[in-house]
Amino acid sequence: MSETTLGGRFTFQGTSLAVQRIGYGAMQLAGPGVWGPPEDPDGAVAVLREAIAAGVNHIDTADFYGPHVTNRIIRQALHPYPAGLVLVTKLGGRRPADKSWQPAISPRELTAAVHDNLSNLGLDVLDIVNYRVMGTGHGPEDGSIAEQVTVLEELRRQGLIRHIGLSNVTAAQVAEAQAITEIVCVQNYYNLAQRDDDALIGDLARQGIAYVPFFPLGGFTPLQSSTLSSVAGRLGATPMQVALAWLLHRSPNILLIPGTSSLTHLRENLAASQWSLSPETLAELDGIAGESSSDHATN
């Protein structure tokens, strides 16, 4: 697959890390509920290898997926890693035996998480580490993140991290972190229906900072909209391909990390940039954010 069909390239601000705009999110490589091993371990390896063969060079992961499962699969499938592959991980969470999602934000926990990521990925240094604020839902919560970002900055100075990003944060938290260190990316909940970060995306674009939407297709509750289905039908695309294409059109600093454990869905996701959306179509899709909840509720 050519560079053009993966949405073009983006270089993380202040780094030499250049990635295709369509990458891959590893969360779905773990078992049901992002817990334990996948039902088809060989299939998980095959998805990763096909993604790389298709030109993907940006993989998003976390050692608390599984826990430890996705990083170990990535290592099994791809190590020694091809030149130019950018692995982005995140810290700030843990998965206790009850399978819940809990914060892990003390200096000791963050430092241990860096070493766990290094060990399970088989690396000496992590390309980008996002500090993930673990709220009660998928949206950010107010509060200082200075202590946690300072810990990551110290780990960067020690040579264990190259660059720092943020996940599930407010604009105020981004500014707070930027007073401590350079931030190269922000990963927040955003898609056609979830548009709270419109202003933040514009601000980051002016600074050349990447914005990476998680749950770009709705996550555990996939996007459903009569408008989205109608546009997809006219274009001969799937609704999810249109949702990804809209994100690529939305702003040049947006990088995509759709996740899947299916080779078929992987191929569909990577083909999303082949659709050029007209201004009229983009305006039609923009209106999805204002649709009633019943229009994009889950099955």
| Residue among 24, 65, 189, 190 flagged as catalytic | 65
Q: Are 295 and 229 in contact (CB under 8 A)?
A: no
Burial class (CB in 10 A: 0-12, 13-18, 19+), 117: buried
Q: Are 47 and 270 in contact (CB under 8 A)?
A: no
Q: Are 247 and 197 in contact (CB under 8 A)?
A: no
Q: Are 288 and 217 in contact (CB under 8 A)?
A: no
Query: In Å, what is the CA distance from 215 to each residue of 139, 150, 187?
Result: 11, 28, 10
Active site residue 65: yes
Q: Tell me if residue 128 falls in helix, strand or coil.
A: strand
Active site residues: 65
